[in-house]
């Protein structure tokens, strides 16, 4: 059986401290950190699957229709509750 402390990606045994990742070297140069961050951003953007023009138009229409339906629903509730409040408190219009 292998010793748990020989690999850095294994968890430490019970009662033992968790091993640290990496070489332990802390890079304090902000320009290196910024460069690494920007490289990682570009790497992640290359993985993005962008929609086609047709998909974009379809999704936009779906969102606009959904927003219009929700606006009509909330507007209807507002009119209903407004009328109920006027009747309950006897406000003359």
- What pLDDT, in 10s, does the model give residues 51-73? 999 999 999 999 999 999 999 99
Distances from the Cα of 89 to the Cαs of 45, 50, 86, in angstroms? 58, 55, 5
**Which pTM does this prediction carry?**
0.51
How far apart, in whole angstroms, are the C-alpha atoms of residue 12 and residue 4?
Answer: 6
pLDDT surpasses 60 at 1:
no
């Amino acid at each position: 059986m292998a010793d748990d402390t020989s690999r850095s990606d294994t968890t430490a045994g019970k009662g033992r401290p968790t091993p640290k990742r990496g070489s332990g070297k802390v890079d304090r140069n902000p320009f290196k950190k910024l460069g690494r961050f920007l490289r990682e951003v570009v790497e992640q953007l290359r993985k993005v699957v962008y929609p086609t023009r047709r998909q974009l138009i379809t999704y936009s229409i779906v969102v606009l229709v959904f927003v219009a339906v929700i606006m009509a629903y909330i507007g209807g509730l507002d009119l209903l509750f407004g009328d109920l409040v006027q009747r309950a408190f006897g406000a003359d219009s």
